[in-house]
Amino acid sequence: MKKILLLITVFAGLAIGTAFATSWSRANIDCPICKTTNEFHFLQGWGSSGASTHAQLQHIHWLEENRFASVRTCKNCRYTAFMWNFSNIDSTTIGKIQKALPYLELPAQNYSDCITKRLANARQIYKLYRYDDADFWNDFYRVQGFHYARIRNVNQAETARLKALAITSSLLTIPENEYRKKELLFIASSMRYFTNREHDKALKDIDLALTMTYNNPNLQPYQNERLNSHLTRQLEHLKWRINNRQ
Ligand SMILES: [Zn+2]
């Protein structure tokens, strides 16, 4: 179920028509850990927003690309999480985080710190309760790599992307993932391209992926068709980029 939600979230931008504009406001939101009220960006409605071409090539959703709003940090206790699950945690997890927070070295002090610092907080905190969720970490490290690269921190970007590549490579060995092999091969090729390594392997994987159809048994046919077409477009673009070394 987690994977389906992620997919729907990742591609939601593609599914929505262009009639509505995305609108943000500021909202007072209580920290679930220390109950301090923080003012965060709040998504009122979305419409025609989409990830940039650069983000799409890294399989990054437009909300994850947003360096201001996507990651929330509490100004009091420094608890940090993505905006879509900042408040959505159960009481056992809250207890676990409350106990661990005083012992963590969290670089981001508040919401206005650079997103790379906020993600460094988030990484330590998610490790407390989502340590075994390979899909989550695959996504997380791609997002981290994307934002490190944006501020020209090449080494940290590469480290994060290589982690995403390692996780993706391991997911590709699991027979149950056959239905989403096209997506995984795209991610692996993307991470190879953005870390400037094994371009031959990436091109081979892209050609293989282009022969495949994405077909998640838990999605509606129209959703699968949409995701499949999206992946085909991204694979073709990535192939062009690698061949032209851009
Ligand atoms: Zn707090």
Say how many Å lie between the CA of residue 38 and the centre of ligand 1. Answer: 8
Total domains in the fold of the chain: 1
**33 CA → ligand 1 middle, Å:** 5
Please report which confidence band the pLDDT of residue 44 belongs to, taking 50, 70 and 90 as the band edges.
confident
Judged against a pLDDT cut of 90, whether residue 227 lies above it is answered with yes
Neighbours of 240 (CB within 10 A): 11
Q: How far is the CA of 181 from the centre of ligand 1 (A)?
A: 39
Residue 133, amino acid: D
d(CA 99, CA 205): 44
- For residue 147, report the distance from its CA to the centre of ligand 1, in Å: 24
**Rounded Cα gap, residues 21 and 36, in angstroms:** 31
Which residues lie across from 71 on neighbouring strands? 82
CA nearest neighbour of 101 among 29, 30, 32, 33? 33
**Of 235, 216, 143, residue with least CA distance to 177:** 216
Residue 77's domain comprises 2-243
- pLDDT tens-place string over residues 154-212: 999 999 999 999 999 999 999 999 999 999 999 999 999 999 999 999 999 999 999 99
Could you report the per-residue pLDDT of 132-148, keeping only the tens digit for each? 999 999 999 999 999 99
